[in-house]
Amino acid sequence: MTHPLIGLTTSHTTSQSGLSQISVTEAYVRALLRAGAAPLLIPIGLSESALQDILHRLDGILFTGGGDVNPERYASQMHPLVDDVDPERDSTEIQLIRYAMQEQIPFLGICRGLQVINVAMGGTLYEDILDQRPNSIRHQYSPGWPRSYLAHDVKLVDRSRLVEILDDDTVSVNSFHHQGIRELGKRLQATAFAPDGVIEAIELPGHPFAIAVQWHPEWLVEDPAMQRLFGEFVRSAELTHIPQITR
């Protein structure tokens, strides 16, 4: 049995002993393993040719959560609450997004993943929702809250790919973000909304699998709906994997 190879985007971190690391939260890996994938971490800072060598072997890409996208990427000023900006990560991920669009490679975005996909497609972000949308509900429940804490409901758009996968028009989700989509990127469709109107999911119509969500389904994998989200992503990657076996 072969498993579709799913690349995961990574973050720059620092160990307790002060060593620089490139890492990813284990929950993403476990969610993909549970769905039948073979996860592969994509380092930050690869040359374009090295990145291309990896990309040609991938069956899907998971854009993980993390720090804020550099506001310069969407022609905005640096807000004082923007945090943990990593221009090198932005550059790597935007290359990955463009490749996935061009080559019709399935991809799933989570939290920051949704935001960087939107920026790569020409969209913009609220740099801090509470400051720039003061009547919004609370979206940031970190730190201090369990990762599986269900913060609010989201309403899904009829006839979207996401509503078909989750099999419900309303789902309860966790919430660990202070930024969100302001202007939607080109060709993207908003397919889920928080009670205050903040976009909670996007899709690219016509793509084999191009979905991104603002919540963190990797911490909710005991929920059958979230299991199906990862399952459908991996199944789409399996279809991509088949013609690559002979490469």
Domain of residue 159: give its range: 5-244
Q: What's residue 245's pLDDT?
A: 45
Query: Is 111 a residue of the active site?
Result: yes
Q: Give the model's pLDDT for residue 143.
A: 81
218 a catalytic residue: yes
Q: CATH number for the domain including 19?
A: 3.40.50.880
Please pick, among 152, 218, 232, 241, the residue that the annotation labels catalytic.
218
The string of DSSP letters for the chain reads ----EEEEE-EEEE-TTS-EEEE--HHHHHHHHHTT-EEEEE-TT--HHHHHHHHTT-SEEEE---SPPPGGGGT----TT-----HHHHHHHHHHHHHHHHHT--EEEETHHHHHHHHHTT-EEES-HHHHSTTSPP-B-TTTS-TT---EEEEEPTT-HHHHHHTSSEEEE--B-S-EEEEPPTT-EEEEE-TTS-EEEEE-TTSSSEEEESS-GGG-TTSHHHHHHHHHHHHHHHHHHGGGTT-
Annotated active-site residue in 93, 111, 139, 152: 111
pLDDT digits over 149-196, tens only? 999 999 999 999 999 999 999 999 999 999 999 999 999 999 999 999
Which segments in the chain show pLDDT lower than 50? 245-247
Instruction: Please tell me the predicted confidence (pLDDT) of residue 243.
Output: 55
Q: What is the pLDDT of residue 247?
A: 45
pTM of the model: 0.94
Question: Is 241 a catalytic site residue?
Answer: no
- Among 139, 178, 216, 241, which one carries the catalytic annotation? 216
What is the pLDDT, as a whole number, of residue 246? 45
Number of domains present in the structure of the chain: 1
